[in-house]
C-alpha cells in the first residue's frame, strides 16, 4: 500500500509538470478556435456534428427524381444532414402551407411561388437571407432575368432562384401529317392558329385543333399581351382586363370554342386540356416548360409531338415568364443546416443536375444548355428564345392573392356561356381595381 501511494504521488507531480510546460508552449492563447464547443477552459476536443434531418417540400412529382439527386449529392458532402424530399400535390400544397405557417410547422426548406411570396414574407414566416447575401455567401447576380427580385420585399432577400419557365405551343405532329398541314413555325399569327385549329378539328371523333382553355399563365394572358392589352398596368395600380385589346383577345379565344375548333369549357373541366393533348385528342395547346416531362411520358403521344413558339399577335409575341424560388422557414429548428442546403440548392452544381435530368430550366446563368439538350427529340429552344418577349408573372403586389383567387370565378361564367366575355372582363377589372385599392 505504501509503495502504491508513493508511486501515485510521483506520477501526479510529473503529470502536473508536463501540463505546465505544455501550457507555457501554447502561449496561453484564449482564441475561440482553441476551445471545444462546450469547453470554456480551452480544450481542443471538438464535439461531433449532430445528425439532422431536414424536410424539403416540393409540389411536382415529375421533378422529384432531380430534387432527390440534388439532396443525395448534398448529403454526400454533409454526411450529418439528411434530406427528406416531400412531394405535396399543387392542389394541396398551399392549403397545407397556410395551415403550417401560423403553427410554426413549415418544412425546413420549401418551394415558393411568386404568387404566394408576399403573403408568407409579410407574415414573417420566411427566414430572411439578406445577411448571407451581404456577406457574399451567395451571389444573386448569378441568376437569369433578375429572378431574385421576385423574392425580395422591402429590401429583404428571402429566396434563392431555382428555375424559370415560359410558355410554348405544343403540337401533335401525327395529326398535322394526317391532314397534310405544315407544322407551326415562327411565321404563325393568331389568325393562322384559329384557321388551322378549325381545319384539324374532328368533333365526331372527339379530336379538336386547339385547347382554348380557361387559364391565365398558360392561356389568355399570353393572348392579351400579344394583342397589345395588359394584365396590370406597369405600376400594378390598375387592371388591364377592361382594355379593348384585352377584351378582343379574350373574345377571339372563346370564339374558337363556338367555332368547334376547341373542346367546350365543360369538356376541358371534365378532362384537363393537357391530358386531352397527351391522349391524342388535341392537335395544339399552350403549355408551360414544366409540363415537358409529363407530356413526353405519355406512351400515346411520345415521339409524335413537338414545341413551337407562341403565335405573333397584332403587337408582339406575348409570353409570361415565372421563376420558382427555394426558401427556408423562419421557425425552423435547424437553421444553420437549412441554410447550407438552401445555398447548395442555389449552386451551379444543383442547377446542372436539374438541367441534365430535364427537370426544369435552371435559373443559374450558363447552365441552361444541358437542359436544352436533355430531350434532343424536342425543340426546347423555343422556351429560352422567348425570354426576350416575356413579361414577369404579375404577382408582385399585396393585392395579387385577393384578385387572383376571384378571377376564375368570374371568367368561368363567360367560358360556360352564362355571360358575354366582355362583361366578364369588365367585372374582373372592377374586382381587381377594388382589391388593389383595399390593399394599398
pLDDT at position 336, please?
97
- Could you give the CA distance from residue 418 to residue 412 in angstroms, rounded to a whole number? 9
For the structural domain made of 52-164+322-383, what CATH number should be given?
Answer: 3.40.190.10
Q: Return the minimum-mean-pLDDT range out of 265-269, 349-353, 397-401.
A: 397-401
Q: Residue 259 in contact with residue 198, Cβ under 8 Å?
A: yes
Q: Return the minimum-mean-pLDDT range out of 19-28, 120-129, 170-179.
A: 19-28
- Could you give the CA distance from residue 424 to residue 203 in angstroms, rounded to a whole number? 27
Mean pLDDT of 372-397: 91
- Could you give the CA distance from residue 355 to residue 368 in angstroms, rounded to a whole number? 6
- pLDDT over 60 (residue 60): yes
Helices marked H in 27-172:
64-77, 90-103, 114-122, 130-134
pLDDT at position 146, please?
80
Write the DSSP string, 351-407: HHHHHHTTSSEE-BTT-HHHHHTSSTTS-THHHHHGGGG-EE-S--STTHHHHHHHH
Mean pLDDT of 53-63: 96
pLDDT at position 398, please?
82
- pLDDT over 80 (residue 116): yes
Mean of the per-residue pLDDT values of the chain: 89
Determine what percent of the chain is predicted with pLDDT higher than 70: 89
C-alpha cell at 108: 425546413
What confidence category does residue 47 fall into, taking pLDDT thresholds of 50, 70 and 90?
low
pLDDT at position 163, please?
96
- Could you give the CA distance from residue 143 to residue 150 in angstroms, rounded to a whole number? 12
Question: Given strand 160-161, what is the order of strands in its sheet?
Answer: 81-87, 52-58, 109-112, 325-328, 160-161
- pLDDT over 80 (residue 156): yes
- Could you give the CA distance from residue 435 to residue 351 in angstroms, rounded to a whole number? 37
Q: Residue 104 in contact with residue 74, Cβ under 8 Å?
A: no
Q: Residue 294 in contact with residue 367, Cβ under 8 Å?
A: no
- Could you give the CA distance from residue 164 to residue 162 in angstroms, rounded to a whole number? 7
Contact partners, residue 420, CB within 8 Å, separation at least 6: 414
- Could you give the CA distance from residue 32 to residue 178 in angstroms, rounded to a whole number? 76
pLDDT at position 46, please?
56
Mean pLDDT of 144-162: 90
pLDDT at position 20, please?
36
- What CATH class has 167-318+397-438? alpha beta
pLDDT at position 268, please?
97
Whether pTM exceeds 0.85:
no
Mean pLDDT of 155-173: 96
- pLDDT over 60 (residue 363): yes
- pLDDT over 70 (residue 309): yes
Give burial (CB, 10 Å; 0-12/13-18/19+) of 16.
Answer: exposed
Give burial (CB, 10 Å; 0-12/13-18/19+) of 80.
Answer: exposed
Between 270 and 393, the more confident residue is 270
- Could you give the CA distance from residue 315 to residue 311 in angstroms, rounded to a whole number? 11
- Could you give the CA distance from residue 152 to residue 148 in angstroms, rounded to a whole number? 7
263-269: long-range pairs with CB below 8 Å, 24+: 263/208, 263/211, 265/214, 265/412, 265/415, 265/416, 265/417, 266/416, 268/211, 268/213, 268/214
Contact partners, residue 400, CB within 8 Å, separation at least 6: 115, 118, 394
Mean pLDDT of 298-322: 96
pLDDT at position 167, please?
97
Chain position carrying cell 391522349:
279
Chain-centroid distance, C-alpha 378: 22
298-304: long-range pairs with CB below 8 Å, 24+: 301/172, 301/277, 303/377, 304/172, 304/173, 304/174, 304/280
Question: Taking the domains of the chain in order of start, what are their residue ranges?
Answer: 52-164+322-383, 167-318+397-438
Q: Residue 280 in contact with residue 300, Cβ under 8 Å?
A: yes
- Could you give the CA distance from residue 384 to residue 386 in angstroms, rounded to a whole number? 5
Amino acid at each position: 500500500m505504501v509503495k502504491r501511494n508513493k508511486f501515485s504521488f510521483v506520477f501526479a507531480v510529473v503529470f502536473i509538470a508536463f501540463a505546465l510546460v505544455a501550457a507555457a508552449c501554447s502561449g496561453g492563447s484564449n482564441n475561440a478556435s482553441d476551445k471545444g464547443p462546450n469547453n470554456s477552459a480551452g480544450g481542443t476536443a471538438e464535439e461531433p456534428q449532430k445528425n439532422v434531418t431536414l424536410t424539403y417540400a416540393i409540389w411536382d412529382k415529375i421533378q422529384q427524381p432531380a430534387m432527390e439527386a440534388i439532396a443525395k449529392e448534398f448529403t454526400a458532402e454533409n454526411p450529418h444532414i439528411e434530406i427528406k424530399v416531400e412531394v405535396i400535390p399543387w392542389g394541396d400544397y398551399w392549403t397545407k402551407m397556410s395551415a403550417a405557417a401560423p403553427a410554426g410547422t413549415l418544412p425546413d426548406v420549401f418551394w415558393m411561388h411568386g404568387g404566394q411570396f408576399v403573403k408568407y414574407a409579410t407574415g414573417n414566416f420566411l427566414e430572411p437571407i439578406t445577411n448571407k447575401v451581404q456577406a457574399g455567401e451567395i451571389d444573386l447576380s448569378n441568376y437569369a432575368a433578375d429572378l431574385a427580385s421576385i423574392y425580395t420585399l422591402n429590401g429583404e432577400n428571402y429566396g434563392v432562384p431555382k428555375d424559370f419557365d415560359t410558355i410554348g405551343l405544343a403540337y401533335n405532329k401525327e395529326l398535322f401529317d394526317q391532314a397534310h398541314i405544315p407544322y407551326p413555325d415562327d411565321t404563325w399569327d393568331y389568325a393562322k392558329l384559329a384557321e388551322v385549329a378549325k381545319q384539324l378539328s374532328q368533333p365526331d371523333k372527339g379530336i379538336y385543333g386547339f385547347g382554348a382553355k380557361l387559364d391565365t399563365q398558360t392561356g389568355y394572358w399570353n393572348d392579351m399581351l400579344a394583342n397589345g392589352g395588359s394584365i396590370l398596368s406597369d405600376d400594378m395600380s390598375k387592371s388591364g382586363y377592361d382594355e379593348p385589346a384585352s377584351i378582343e383577345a379574350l373574345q377571339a379565344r372563346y370564339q374558337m370554342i363556338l367555332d368547334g375548333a376547341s373542346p367546350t369549357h365543360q369538356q376541358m373541366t371534365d378532362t384537363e386540356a393537357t391530358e386531352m393533348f397527351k391522349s391524342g385528342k388535341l392537335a395544339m395547346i399552350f403549355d408551360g416548360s414544366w409540363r415537358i416531362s409529363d407530356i413526353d411520358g405519355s406512351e400515346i403521344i411520345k415521339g409524335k409531338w413537338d414545341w413551337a413558339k407562341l403565335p405573333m399577335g397584332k403587337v408582339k409575341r406575348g409570353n409570361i415568364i415565372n421563376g420558382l424560388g427555394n426558401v427556408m422557414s423562419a421557425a425552423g429548428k435547424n437553421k444553420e443546416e437549412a441554410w447550407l442546403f438552401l445555398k447548395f440548392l442555389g449552386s451551379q452544381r444543383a442547377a446542372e443536375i436539374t438541367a441534365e435530368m430535364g427537370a426544369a430550366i435552371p435559373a443559374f446563368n450558363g447552365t441552361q444548355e444541358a437542359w436544352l439538350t436533355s430531350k434532343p427529340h424536342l425543340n426546347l429552344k423555343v422556351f429560352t428564345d422567348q425570354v426576350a418577349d416575356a413579361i414577369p408573372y404579375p404577382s408582385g403586389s399585396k393585392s395579387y392573392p385577393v384578385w387572383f383567387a376571384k378571377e376564375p370565378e368570374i371568367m368561368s361564367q363567360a367560358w360556360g356561356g352564362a355571360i358575354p366575355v366582355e362583361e366578364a372582363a369588365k367585372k374582373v377589372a372592377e374586382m381587381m381595381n377594388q382589391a388593389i385599392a383595399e390593399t394599398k
